Amino acid sequence: MTKNTKVKAAILIIGNEILSGRTQDTNTSSIALWLNSIGVKVNEVRVIPDIENTIVDTVNLLRKVNDYVFTTGGIGPTHDDITAQSISKAFNLEYEIHKEAFKILESYYKLGEFNEGRQKMVWMPRNANLILNPTSGAPGFNIENVFCLPGVPSILKSMLGGLKNKIAGGDPILSYTISLKTVESEIAKSLTNVQDKNKDVEIGSYPFFQAGKLGVSIVIRSEEQGKIDNCVSQIMNFVNNKNIEIVNR
């Protein structure tokens, strides 16, 4: 029985450092894997620069066509951290000191260390809901369906757990992987047949070259275990018929 398989999200990575190639984004994968586990499917990811108008327009577009939007980056203390002020503008809300966030950071830092730079991090859209940060104090926040998280991967990861109760997902998206010692062209036709017979299951084929091994991973994704099982048995049929070696399943 599926509850709701249509819960969809967009991830918005804010930061020149990703666009320049200097920094490798890893937050997409962390957020997507976590969302899958609570039944939310990522529909789209965008990476945009630290430019206010671009952030405002993109957030306003994405929040209307997705159940949830997760932003990463731009909530630190420096001049290039403009996410909170941009979200305020997007929602037409005052950008102001958030009293609860102020208290949290005031007690987090030692006396005299809660300086002007750090105080920037408590400026948020009016009535923002805080997302607690067990790693480094400074909270993220959400306004309606837009959740703003930091860009530093370890801090972001530590904050996802606290979000769980704020997200109404559907059934978890299950997946099963079969890794074969073969090449894609060898199984392409048979795999197309399986996909054609199971149109509502997502079947992906991904070549790998790892640890000196060359092969193909077939990934089957659905909210329903039964549908995955059906595909797996159909795939195993042609795998056995073709005498293909199974690396892992």
Mode of pairing for the β-strands spanning 41-48 and 174-181: unpaired
Residue 249 CA to residue 229 CA, distance in Å, equals 12
Q: Where are the alpha helices (DSSP H) in 38-136?
A: 52-65, 83-90, 99-108, 116-119
Q: Does 53 bind a copy of itself (CB under 8 A)?
A: no
Q: Does 223 bind a copy of itself (CB under 8 A)?
A: no
Closest CA to 122 of 145, 106, 142: 106
Q: If phi over 0 gives left and psi between -120 and 50 gives alpha, with beta otherwise, what is residue 212?
A: left
Q: How far is the CB of 127 from a copy of itself (least distance, A)?
A: 25
Please report the sign of the dihedral spanned by the C-alpha atoms of residue 177, residue 180, residue 183, residue 187.
negative
Largest CA distance in the chain: 72
What is residue 100's three-state secondary structure?
Answer: helix
Selected from 7, 31, 75, 149, the binder of a copy of itself by CB under 8 A is 31
Q: Does 19 bind a copy of itself (CB under 8 A)?
A: yes
Of 85-114, binders to a copy of itself (CB under 8 A) are none
Q: How far is the CB of 38 from a copy of itself (least distance, A)?
A: 12
Closer CB to a copy of itself, residue 48 or residue 59? Answer: 48
Q: How far is the CB of 232 from a copy of itself (least distance, A)?
A: 17
Closer CB to a copy of itself, residue 96 or residue 202? Answer: 202
Q: Does 187 bind a copy of itself (CB under 8 A)?
A: yes
Of 110-149, binders to a copy of itself (CB under 8 A) are 115-118, 120
Q: Does 230 bind a copy of itself (CB under 8 A)?
A: no
Piece of 33-41, 61-69, 227-235, 238-246 that binds a copy of itself (CB under 8 A): 33-41
Q: Does 174 bind a copy of itself (CB under 8 A)?
A: no
Please check whether residue 128 is in contact with residue 111, taking contact to mean a CB–CB distance below 8 angstroms: no
Closer CB to a copy of itself, residue 33 or residue 168? Answer: 33
Q: How far is CA 38 from the centre of its chain?
A: 12
Q: Does 232 bind a copy of itself (CB under 8 A)?
A: no
Q: How far is the CB of 99 from a copy of itself (least distance, A)?
A: 20
Piece of 93-101, 126-134, 199-207, 235-243 that binds a copy of itself (CB under 8 A): 199-207
End-to-end CA distance of the chain: 26
Please enumerate in sequence order all residues whose Cβ is within 8 A of that of 93, keeping only pairs 6 or more positions apart, or say none: 125, 126, 127, 143
Other C-beta atoms closer than 10 Å to the C-beta of 107 total 10
Binding region for a copy of itself (CB under 8 A): 13, 15-26, 28-36, 41-50, 76-80, 115-118, 120, 152, 154, 173, 175, 184-189, 191-192, 195-196, 202-207, 209, 219, 221
